[in-house]
A and B are shown apart, each in its own frame.
Chain A
Amino acid sequence: MKTHKPRITLLALAAATALLVAGPLAACGSSSSSNDDGVKTITVATGNDGNPFCYMDTNGKLTGYDVAIMNAVGDKLKQYYKFTFMPSDFPTSLTNLASGKAQIAAYEYEVNDQRKAKFTYGTVGTTKWDTLIISDPKNGPVYQSFDELKGKKVYATTATNQAAMAETYLKSHPDAFKLVYGTYTNEQTVQAIASGAVDATLAPQYNLDLFNSQLKAGFKGSDGPVHKSAAYLLFQKNADKTLMDRVNKAMQEIKDDGTMKKLSVQYLGADYVPE
């Protein structure tokens, strides 16, 4: 009676692996469809937990800065496209785009080589993400550079660009600082720095303002950025060129006419639109 058991386990393993691997791939390119009036439906991958960029409000309605920008772009292009949103967590938004479930992804994507190899970036930045070293002046000096962080503990959230950037730096400077990984909430990050559990974190001005205004942290950032960056939309690598051109042009238009700045102030509390 016992002998057939391992085979069933193996079969189940194989079936589950096949499902996991094939499921998202099977959906390749299947989600952009054309209506009779020539208006194409475009799926935009975005976040559902990225307050204030893309999140569900208390009524379960998708809202936020990235969503508002895509809606503004959608308004400009309504004779060609109808945008629908596909919300998920951050890593999944990238897999949704990669697998073809979505044609555009809007969730504060910064530029890096790996993403460049896999996707095509939009040409107009939506948000400034220059990375600062953030620390608590009550616990020590305000760190200005990675050199000053030698031997210190630096917190970075797993799977963020700050973590990838810090790892890259550590590869060439193996004993510069100790990277502490986690998936802290903003409150935890503030507690970790305030209590001295870590000495600093790497985050943009936007986060520093949030720590100080919402959580009364009293933190300081380095005077200059340790890394210059901005967030852009992402398209699939071999995306429809007309779609990319139209979206990029519409983005430039809403940037030039001040719509983007207005949305930044409305959703983020200040103007974080890159120059």
Chain B
Amino acid sequence: MGFSVQAVVASIAYAIRYLGTTLFISVFALVIGVIIGFVAALARFYGVPLLSQVLQVLITLLKGVPIVLILLAMYLLASTQFDIWAKALHISLRFKDFNTIWLAVIGLSIMAFVNASEIFRGAFASIGVGQLDAAKSIGMTNWQTIRRVLLPQAIPVSIPVFGNLLINLIKASALASMVGVVDIFSAATISAQQTYTFLEAYAGVALIYWAVVVCIEKGSGLIEHRMTRHLGRAAQ
């Protein structure tokens, strides 16, 4: 048996057309996750009654559920419940016309939200209580404190962790085929199914993943460097 480099190239050429799908799912999920995660982390940081307890339970629960299970449950729920809810809410969209890529986006957003809220919580916790007291003493409102004290310190330290989160999301997006979405991983498998060159397809898609991950690492390093330059503690 030979290892066909030609088949690797062919699978890369075929799979790369779906890179947009993979990136769309992962980046969209990251954005949603960061927004909701930020709000959740703030609520927990300031100890908003009830909401912070509910969030704590929710995050602990979701942390313990594999993404595979979330995707599977969402598909089965959506396929049985979507039309009922759509009718009740007078939306004309039906499940048969619904693009299941959104199920993948929601599934990965849940993963991103849980991680992002913990990342922000850690970053907020690294800021001394003294600074908050100082902000209060000069008459800053909560919102001003968040904007001028918390965020400028929390964001730079969490950039590399968010880079990692994006990488994890990109890898997790390979599970999107479970809800019927063709991403680069399943595209590579499809390119191999006619010729049974699966090993070559996996090697090809690994190269794509590596290239993307290296770009994200470099990109997040650059952003971190720029953001921390003025703080006098720039990354090496």
Contact = CB atoms under 8 A, between A and B. Distances in A.
A114 B83 CA distance: 42
Contacts of B190: 158-159, 163, 167, 181
B194 A182 contact: no
A237 B75 contact: no
A163 B100 CA distance: 20
Interface of A: 1-2, 9, 13, 16-17, 20-21, 24-25, 28, 91-92, 94-95, 98-100, 114-115, 118, 153, 155, 158-160, 163-164, 167-168, 180-185, 187-188, 191-192, 194-197, 236-237
Contact of A197 (B79, B181, B210): B79
Interface stretch (B30-38, B54-62, B159-167, B195-203): B195-203
B170 interface: no
Contacts of B100: 197
Nearest to B190: A158
A195 B96 contact: yes
Given A25-B3, A197-B96, A182 B195 contact: no
Given A99-B1, A182-B181, A159 B194 contact: no
B177 interface: yes
Interface residues of B, number: 37
Contact of A20 (B82, B94, B194, B206): B206
B229 to A, nearest CB: 14
Contacts of B189: 91, 158-159
B193 A28 contact: no
B76 interface: yes
Contacts of B196: 94, 98, 114-115, 118
A184 B193 contact: no
B69 to A, nearest CB: 12
For the complex, would chain B's binding face be called helix, strand, loop or mixed by DSSP majority?
helix
B137 interface: no
Nearest to B200: A21
Contacts of A164: 193-194
Nearest to A118: B196
B51 to A, nearest CB: 35
B198 A188 contact: no
B179 interface: yes
B223 interface: no
B203 A95 contact: no
Nearest to A155: B180
B70 interface: no
A232 to B, nearest CB: 15
Contacts of B214: 9, 13
B75 A188 contact: yes
Contacts of A195: 79-80, 82-83, 95-96
Given A155-B180, A159-B193, 4 more contacts: A114-B194, A164-B193, A181-B186, A195-B96
